[in-house]
């Protein structure tokens, strides 16, 4: 179990974290490129959630870089539990924000057909990036939850 691809403290784990941070940053960038995103609550939530996601992923990426440099991974039961809870909280926030933004983007685009007055491409790109962030964090969530369950059962 400890040598699964993508575990904390491995090259794949570091790559996954950096991908999450980059995608979250892209979602913020696309959203911030519009001048009126802050009039919509769901878009503000998206920026907040992705900022939290970006910080969390960068923090764990730093832990991974340190673990690779000193060749020791932090995989005590307490650390795994913290990774797991953090991943689930940020992942759920990202998914909720992406779904909320998708609802509004589809409303503007297909239901009201008001794209000419709005920044539909930016909103869509930002929403897609938020979903991609979620796809990138889902493996970490599952992996850390399984490791936590495994550790609790052995303890």
Q: Which stretch binds a copy of itself (CB under 8 A): 21-29, 62-70, 74-82, 97-105?
A: 97-105
Q: Does 97 bind a copy of itself (CB under 8 A)?
A: yes
Q: Does 110 bind a copy of itself (CB under 8 A)?
A: yes
118 backbone φψ class: left, alpha, beta (φ>0; ψ -120 to 50):
beta
User: What is the b/e burial string over 99-130, where b = at least 16 CB atoms within 10 angstroms of the residue's CB?
Assistant: ebbbebbeebbeeeeeeeebbeebbbbbbbbb
Q: Does 91 bind a copy of itself (CB under 8 A)?
A: no
- Could you tell me how many residues of this chain bind a copy of itself (CB under 8 A)? 25
Task: Provide, rounded to whole angstroms, the least separation between the CB of residue 102 and a copy of itself.
Answer: 6
The tokens 């007055």 sit on which residue? 117
List all residues 6 or more positions away from 148 whose beta carbon is below 8 Å from its beta carbon.
77, 80, 81, 84
Task: Provide, rounded to whole angstroms, the least separation between the CB of residue 107 and a copy of itself.
Answer: 6
Task: Provide, rounded to whole angstroms, the least separation between the CB of residue 72 and a copy of itself.
Answer: 25
What residues make contact with a copy of itself under the rule CB under 8 A?
39-42, 45, 92, 95-104, 106-107, 110-111, 145-146, 149-150, 153
């Amino acid at each position: 179990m400890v040598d699964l691809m993508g575990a904390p403290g491995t090259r794949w784990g570091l790559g996954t974290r950096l991908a999450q941070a980059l995608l979250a940053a892209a979602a913020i960038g696309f959203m911030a490129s519009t001048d009126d995103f802050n009039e919509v609550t769901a878009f503000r939530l998206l920026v907040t959630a992705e900022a939290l996601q970006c910080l969390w992923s960068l923090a764990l990426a730093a832990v991974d870089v340190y673990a690779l440099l000193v060749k020791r991974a932090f995989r005590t039961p307490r650390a795994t539990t913290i990774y797991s809870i953090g991943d689930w909280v940020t992942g759920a926030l990202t998914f909720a924000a992406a779904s909320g933004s998708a609802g509004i983007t589809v409303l503007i685009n297909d239901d009201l057909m008001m794209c000419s007055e709005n920044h539909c491409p930016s909103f869509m790109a930002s929403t897609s990036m938020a979903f991609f962030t979620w796809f990138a964090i889902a493996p970490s969530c599952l992996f850390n939850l399984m490791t936590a369950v495994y550790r609790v059962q052995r303890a």
